Amino acid sequence: MLTALTGGRLLDPAQGIDQKGTLIIEHGLIKDITFSGPPTKAEVIDVCEHLVVPGFIDLSCRPGSVNARSLASLGQTAASGGFTGVTVLPDTTPPLTDALRLAGLTALARENSPVHLYPIGALSRNLEGKELADMGSLAQAGAYGFSDGEHWPANSQLLFLALKYAGTFEKPLFIHPEDPALAADGLMRESKAATRLGLPAVPAVAEEIA
């Protein structure tokens, strides 16, 4: 059965497409893009005034506990918002600090999540920022990158070594650029709105220094 989404604005930066057209879907998969009319046998869905874009990827997800239920819920929520993939940062419960845990999350996600989950391995042991995690085994287990989640790596030497090792494996680092001493208990960025609302603010320098 063919389905044709017609009249929408098609956006695909990878192919340089930005114009109105028709997206042809067969058995849940994109079959073709056309800028003429829909196939005669297709079910036509008018998406005029809508954008038709590739699936989004969320680069900062925290499912909490690593179990089938939480990963299924994460995947379903992501899919309902137009996300076809999410990265899972390592500050889960338990944290993704070794290859076995990371491989376990990958297997659970494959069985329970309707979207792709991309696990991010720990940058430092136990996310403590004191010594590097076993980045090699994490990479072999399928880590798409390395991070300490919301923990800012204040140890510059550790961060320098992490960048070198990550480059060896051609993996990115996901860094939370915020000096915790300056951010303190801030709830929103420093601004007139923060002052008006009476909320503790995070100064811009907290990110600039990090």
Contact 6, 45 (CB under 8 A): yes
Reported as a pLDDT band with limits 50, 70 and 90, residue 41 is: confident
> For residue 1, is pLDDT > 90?
no
> For residue 88, is pLDDT > 80?
yes
Range of the domain at 134: 56-176
Kindly state whether residues 73 and 157 are assigned to the same domain: yes
CA distance 130 to 125: 7
Kindly state whether residues 93 and 166 are assigned to the same domain: yes
The 10s digit of each residue's pLDDT in 154-203 is: 788 999 999 999 999 999 999 988 888 888 888 998 999 989 999 999 99
> For residue 46, is pLDDT > 80?
yes
Kindly state whether residues 46 and 109 are assigned to the same domain: no
The pLDDT, as a whole number, for residue 179 is: 85
Q: Is 185 part of any domain?
A: no
Kindly state whether residues 65 and 118 are assigned to the same domain: yes
The 10s digit of each residue's pLDDT in 89-147 is: 999 999 999 999 999 999 999 999 999 999 999 999 999 999 999 999 999 999 999 99
> For residue 210, is pLDDT > 80?
no
Output the six-digit token pair for 90. 């390592």
Contacts of 61 (CB under 8 A, 6+ apart): 74, 78, 86, 87, 88, 89
The pLDDT, as a whole number, for residue 39 is: 85
The alpha carbons of the chain give a radius of gyration, in whole angstroms, of 22
Q: Is 200 part of any domain?
A: no
Among the candidates 52, 73, 88, a domain finishes at: 52
Handedness of CA 42, 46, 48, 50 (dihedral sign): negative
Q: Is 203 part of any domain?
A: no
| Total domains in the fold of the chain | 2
Kindly state whether residues 12 and 103 are assigned to the same domain: no
Kindly state whether residues 67 and 136 are assigned to the same domain: yes
Kindly state whether residues 110 and 74 are assigned to the same domain: yes
In 3D, which of 187, 191, 207, 185 has the Cα closest to residue 199? Answer: 187
